[in-house]
C-alpha cells in the first residue's frame, strides 16, 4: 500500500449502534498515525496520535488501535450518538510527510 486508504467511504448507523472504520497505510517508514474528527464547517479536531505498534487509545466512547507491522488502524465508536456524525480522517506520518486518507463519513440517525 502506497497511499492511505480508509473504508468504508460512508456509513449510516442508528443511534446506539457501535461501529468501526479502517485506515490502511504503508507499513514501511512509519512515524505516527493520526485520527481526526471533522464536522461540517468546523476545523478538523485531533482525536488520537499513535506511534507504537499495538498502541490503543481511548477518549470517551471512541477508541483506536494500531498495527504498524501490517499497516492498519481501527477506530471504534461505541453506542453512536447523532453528535458523532462527522467525517473521520486518518493520516500517516512517515519520513517528513503526512499523508491523509479521504475519510469515512459517518451519519448517525436518531
Partner 1 sequence: GAVVSQHPSWVICKSGTSVKIECRSLDFQATTMFWYRQFPKQSLMLMATSNEGSKATYEQGVEKDKFLINHASLTLSTLTVTSAHPEDSSFYICSAREREKTYEQYFGPGTRLTVT
| Cross-strand bridge partners of residue 9 | none
Q: Which is nearer to partner 1, 13 or 49 (CB)?
A: 49
Count of C-beta atoms within a 10 Å radius of residue 69: 10
Spatial separation of the C-alpha atoms in residues 54 and 44, rounded to whole Å:
25
Q: Which is nearer to partner 1, 78 or 102 (CB)?
A: 102
CB 15 → partner 1: shortest distance, Å? 26
CB 75 → partner 1: shortest distance, Å? 16
Q: Which is nearer to partner 1, 44 or 71 (CB)?
A: 44
Amino acid at each position: 500500500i502506497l497511499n492511505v486508504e480508509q473504508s468504508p467511504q460512508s456509513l449510516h448507523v442508528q443511534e446506539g449502534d457501535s461501529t468501526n472504520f479502517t485506515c490502511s497505510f504503508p507499513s514501511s517508514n512509519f512515524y505516527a498515525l493520526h485520527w481526526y474528527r471533522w464536522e461540517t464547517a468546523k476545523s478538523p479536531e485531533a482525536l488520537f496520535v499513535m506511534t507504537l505498534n499495538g498502541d490503543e487509545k481511548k477518549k470517551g466512547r471512541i477508541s483506536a488501535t494500531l498495527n504498524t507491522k501490517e499497516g492498519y488502524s481501527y477506530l471504534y465508536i461505541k453506542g453512536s450518538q447523532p453528535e458523532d456524525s462527522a467525517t473521520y480522517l486518518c493520516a500517516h506520518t512517515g519520513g517528513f510527510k503526512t499523508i491523509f486518507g479521504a475519510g469515512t463519513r459517518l451519519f448517525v440517525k436518531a
